[in-house]
Amino acid sequence: MKEQLIIKSVCKIRDNKIFLDDELLFHNDEAENPSAFMKNAYKNFQVNYPKFFKMDNLSKLGFLAAEILINKSNVLPLNSEETGIVIANSSSSLDTDNAFNDTIKNSENYFPSPAVFVYTLPNIMIGEICIRHKITGENILFISEKFDPELIYYYVSDLFESGKIQHCITGWVDLLSDKYEAVLYFVEKDKGGKNGNSIFEPRKIVQLFS
């Protein structure tokens, strides 16, 4: 029989609010833009990781969601080689692509920066999470028009079934100019006896976004 997979802890960041398992942990309604909001969230949670300020906004968003998910919920310890990260979004790295393009579009004002260029790949966000939490397991970044629960369900289930992972951080991290949304959650094998966790299936995954 296939082992049951469960959803354990979900972190949501949107509309200037951060939730962990439906509990509002932080809100900053006055923040003018995603960048200001995330900076204030970083301070609020006393993250102490100066590299955060070098990241682009997409990476900051994914980083914060993973940070809260891993540090504030009781899922540790993670086995670094057997933890997978499977993230999808709609806008790829288009937010930073636009920023990089601004530095090359005029020949009079041409100054391409490697520090910006490196973030013109959406999976850099996954790399940042891996570095912070020493996670070396399976990685993939999908692009979908909107969150596709079946894609994530099938892909993550197959990773578990093939024995490649024991834990998975998965979900949606999307950001384009002032629009953003992150919903990251843990999936692991059901060890039994714990009520209250949702079964990992497309129907339940959809509910995480409500």
Partner 1 sequence: MNEVYIASDNIITSLGFTTEGNCTEIKKGAIGITLIDDPKLEPNKFYASVIDSEILRSKFSHIDDPDKFTRFEQLAILSINDALNKTSIDVKKNDTLFILSTTKGNIDVLEKENFLKYGENRLFLHETAKLIRQYFGNPNTPMVISNACISGVLAIIAGSMMIRSRRYKNVVITGADILSKFVVSGFQSFQSLSSTPCKPFDKTRDGLSIGEGCATIVLTSNKNIANNPQIIVGKGSSSNDANHISGPSRTGEGLYQSIKKTIGDLPAGKIDFISAHGTATPYNDEMEAIAFTRAGLENVPVNSFKGYFGHTLGAAGIIESVLSIYSLKNNILFGTAGFSELGVSSKINIIDRTSEKELSSCLKTASGFGGCNASVIFHKI
Residues lying near partner 1 in the complex (CB under 8 A) = 80-81, 85, 90-92, 94, 97-98, 100-101, 104-105, 107, 110, 112-114, 117-118, 120-124, 126-128, 130-131, 133-145, 148, 151, 154-155, 158, 161-162, 164
Alpha-carbon dihedral sign for residues 140, 174, 196, 23: positive
In the chain, alpha helices (H):
34-44, 57-72, 94-102, 114-117, 124-133, 149-161, 202-208
Query: What are the two backbone dihedrals, phi and then psi, of residue 4, each rounded to the nearest 5 degrees?
Result: -75, 135
CB of 123 to partner 1, least distance (A): 4
CB-nearer residue toward partner 1: 155 or 180: 155
The two structure tokens encoding residue 66: 């993973």
**75/140 with CB nearer partner 1:** 140
**C-beta of 110: minimal distance to partner 1 in Å?**
7
Smallest distance, Å, CB 59 to partner 1?
9
In the bound state with partner 1, the residue whose beta carbon lies nearer, of 40 and 90, is 90
Q: Judged by CB, which is closer to partner 1: 18, or 69?
A: 69
State how far the alpha carbon of 177 is from the alpha carbons of 33, 75, 86, 122, in Å: 9, 32, 23, 15
Q: How far is the CB of 17 from partner 1 (least distance, A)?
A: 26
Q: Are 141 and 123 in contact (CB under 8 A)?
A: yes
